């Protein structure tokens, strides 16, 4: 499975990232950990094995920095050792002139049909936990 930040990549190994600050990603991961801890407690989960995250391309998230922050913030918590899967969502737009909905290519906010520049962003700003998978449930009985 790809681990280089491409769409749908899952990450479990250590990453190093050069240049820039990871403050943006650290803030995202801090919020993510609060969500995971709260949801794990709510559902009786003691260990999370996998986190599926949806991130719009306009969020300007650096996957390697996000993974590195995730690993650091997860230490000692329910998500320690969890696999982080990042699905990058494309930038989408809707032309106000002709109504066409389309994927914005190369950040060119022009309608491919009528060439209008009056385009409203309809996708690419998302950032949410799609799901997480439990490694084990606290007090699980194993019955059905």
Return all residues near 93 (Cβ < 8 A) that are at least 6 apart.
Answer: 101, 102, 103, 104, 109, 111, 119, 120, 121, 122, 123
Q: For residue 98, say whether it is annotated as part of any ligand binding site.
A: yes
Distance from C-alpha of 25 to C-alpha of 2, rounded to nearest angstrom: 20
Q: Is 69 annotated as a binding residue?
A: no
Q: Find out whether 85 is annotated in a ligand binding site.
A: no
Phi and psi at 35, nearest 5°, equal -60, -50
Rounded to the nearest 5 percent, the helix, strand and coil shares of the chain are 25, 30, 45
114 labelled ligand-binding: yes
What is the C-alpha separation between 79 and 55, in angstroms, rounded? Answer: 19
10 marked among binding-site residues: no
Cite the annotated binding site for Ni(2+) by residue number.
24
Cite the annotated binding site for Zn(2+) by residue number.
95, 98, 111, 114
Cite the annotated binding site by residue number.
24, 95, 98, 111, 114
């Amino acid at each position: 499975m790809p681990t280089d930040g491409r769409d749908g990549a899952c990450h479990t190994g250590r990453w190093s990232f050069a240049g820039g600050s990871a403050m943006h990603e650290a803030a995202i991961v801090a919020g993510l950990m609060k969500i995971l801890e709260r949801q794990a407690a709510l559902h009786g989960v003691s260990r999370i094995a996998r986190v599926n995250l949806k991130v719009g391309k306009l969020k300007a998230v650096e996957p390697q920095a996000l993974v590195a922050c995730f690993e650091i913030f997860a230490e000692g918590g329910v998500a320690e050792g969890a696999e982080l899967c990042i699905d990058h969502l494309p930038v989408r737009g809707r032309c106000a002139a002709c109504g066409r909905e389309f994927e914005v290519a190369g950040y060119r906010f022009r309608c491919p049909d009528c060439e209008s520049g009056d385009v409203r962003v309809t996708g690419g700003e998302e950032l949410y936990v799609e799901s997480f998978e439990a490694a084990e449930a606290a007090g699980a009985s194993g019955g059905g």
